[in-house]
Amino acid sequence: MPTTKSELLQGTLDLLILKTLSAGAQHGYAIAQRIQERSADVLVVEEGSLYPALYRMEEKGWIAAEWGKSENNRRAKFYSLTRAGRKQLEEETALWERIVRAIGLVLKTA
């Protein structure tokens, strides 16, 4: 699998996880796959930082965890977005867009 390892800031990792979960509950592996797919293989999640990030967000109350069955019939922990998480997602998305717009403005000027 061709991977271009781009550096992901932790804050943006949180944002990506939240966005992924807004589509429905998933377990950790699926989240990582989904992010890679949706970003057309540009963003490859550093697996070492995925689970600590998930636990941190669970601690902060943005996501909730439940045990269920994975595709290959194994016990897996499924994460879902909480209401606080949804709010956090909105806020971070808005912030991200503001930053991107600002950088764009700077770059456009000749």
> Contact at 8 Å (CB) between 88 and 11?
no
Angstrom distance (rounded) from CA 15 to CA 82: 14
Instruction: Rank residues 54 and 89 by Cβ distance to other proteins and give the closer one.
Output: 54
Least distance from other proteins to the Cβ atom of residue 12, Å: 19
Least distance from other proteins to the Cβ atom of residue 96, Å: 21
Instruction: Rank residues 31 and 81 by Cβ distance to other proteins and give the closer one.
Output: 31
Least distance from other proteins to the Cβ atom of residue 34, Å: 13
Instruction: Rank residues 40 and 59 by Cβ distance to other proteins and give the closer one.
Output: 59
Please write down the HEC assignment for all residues of the chain. CCCCCCCCCHHHHHHHHHHHHCCCCEEHHHHHHHHHHHCCCCCCCCHHHHHHHHHHHHHHCCEEEEEEECCCCCEEEEEEECHHHHHHHHHHHHHHHHHHHHHHHHHHCC
Instruction: Rank residues 15 and 78 by Cβ distance to other proteins and give the closer one.
Output: 78
- In the complex, which residues of this chain contact other proteins (CB under 8 A)? 1, 27-29, 32, 46-48, 51-52, 55-56, 59-61, 70-72, 74-77
Least distance from other proteins to the Cβ atom of residue 55, Å: 4
